[in-house]
Amino acid sequence: MSRQQKYAWFILVLFVITVAAYLILLPFIGPLPALGAVGFLGFAGFGSMFFRRKPGQQEPVMDERDELIQSKASHHAFLASYEWFILACMGGWVLSGGWAGREASVPAFILPLFVFGGMAVFLLAYALTVLILYGREARHGEDGTEQQENA
């Protein structure tokens, strides 16, 4: 398993912990204070530990294929988070009644949800894209043809 795959699984585990913590805190402290559980996603910042060169290691940490997968995953994650921001902004406008021509305003406590949601969507899309691209490569050879298992 490559380092990027380990990092992607790490992000997915953090995402599950975050959702579980939010759902556990929700009945006790309410929806807004329970958003503190999103702080668990901050541990994704420790991902650089997966890409450090170990003492005495001669082979590179990432090769061209890994860099291409990382680039594609970052691109897909950016697009997914951009779509989230569009949906969140337009959803706030629709839910506040702005589409009906009324004087509308979005409550200030909603704005951090846009940011937290964007971060969560970015990390989730990145992790899933990395795992899908490595999985596709495992099923198909370097030349793109499907490999047959010898039984």
- The per-residue pLDDT for range 43-76, each reduced to its tens digit, is 888 877 766 666 776 666 677 888 888 899 999 9
Are the CB atoms for 86 and 135 separated by under 8 Å?
no
Q: What is the pTM of this model?
A: 0.78
pLDDT value at residue 72? 93
pLDDT value at residue 151? 46
Answer whether residue 97 shows pLDDT above 80. no
pLDDT band at 82 (very low <50, low <70, confident <90, very high): very high
pLDDT value at residue 75? 94
Answer whether residue 86 shows pLDDT above 80. yes
